[in-house]
Amino acid sequence: MVMEKAISDQPSAIGTVAHRHRLVAVSYLNTKPLLYGLLRSEVQEELEMDLAIPSECARRLVSGEADIALVPVAVIPELPEAHIISDYCIGADGSVATVCVYGDVPIHEMTDIYLDHHSRTSVMLTKLLLQEHWKHEVTFLPAEEGYIDGIGGTVGGLVIGDRTIGLDQRFDYVYDLGAEWKAHTGLPFVFAAWVSTRSLPEDFIQRFNQALREGMDHLPELQLLLSSPHPDFSLTEYFTHHIDYDFDEGKRAALKRFLAFVEEAAG
């Protein structure tokens, strides 16, 4: 049977959750407020939770090993059915701080760029910006462990997540992809969203969103409880000025714009 591909953020199934939903989420610093909300809520009793890098979250959702995942949004076109189930996401309205291209030379002098394998969304965003915004061609290099040490000369590198912290002091040129996308489109951006491959009961979705909302409500105290990963990295600045968690209308428009590029690139 061929399943109709659909993206929906208003699942219609109503009922009681009959089993524990397998959930996998990104393990980066920017997910801590969302995970905090889930872990301190009764909804966790309805979940089997695990953490992984973004690409592994995507793989599990595509393969059917997870029912719900916080995934890089570039994976959505690969799903036969995709339901965005939350009012919250990992997004940015301008500079995101932890998704950047680094190098010793300006972007137009780069001949090669390593692509961080942790997130397809960031990879596709890099390709979009090179094609549409910078209008510059480079050779893309697959990134393996230790690739950051290979950045130098005319070779740049895309780095995402917690590994970016402190790299702005190591390289002369830093291109924040959230800021570059905003300059190119005037829109915010969605890096990851909570996605399910099937309709879920509305009462579960309400409890799930309430748990995430409570996590966001406790963000001020989390900023005090968490230790900074770098002496010059401000958690308050990061959580309040770089990461934008609301999946609002601007981000919906941005997601539609970005996924059109992803699908066109896939042919």
In this prediction, residue 177 carries a pLDDT of 98
Between 214 and 236, whose confidence is greater?
A: 214
The two tokens of residue 230 are 């770098």
Class of residue 88 by CB neighbours under 10 A (exposed 0-12, middle 13-18, buried 19+):
buried
Query: What are the tens digits of pLDDT across the range 163-219?
Result: 898 999 999 999 999 999 999 999 999 999 999 999 999 999 999 999 999 999 988
How many CB atoms neighbour CB 166 within 10 A?
Answer: 13
Query: What are the tens digits of pLDDT across the range 250-263?
Result: 999 999 999 999 99
Between CA 85 and CA 95, with CA 89 as vertex, the angle to 5 degrees is: 160
Query: What are the tens digits of pLDDT across the range 30-55?
Result: 899 999 999 999 999 999 999 998 88
The two tokens of residue 163 are 């590994």
How many CB atoms neighbour CB 91 within 10 A?
Answer: 25
Average pLDDT over residues 7-25: 60
Contact 68, 23 (CB under 8 A): yes
Specify the pTM.
0.87
**Is the pLDDT score of 227 beyond 90?**
no
Instruction: Give Cβ neighbours of residue 108 (< 8 Å, ≥ 6 apart).
Output: 134, 136
**Is the pLDDT score of 2 beyond 50?**
no
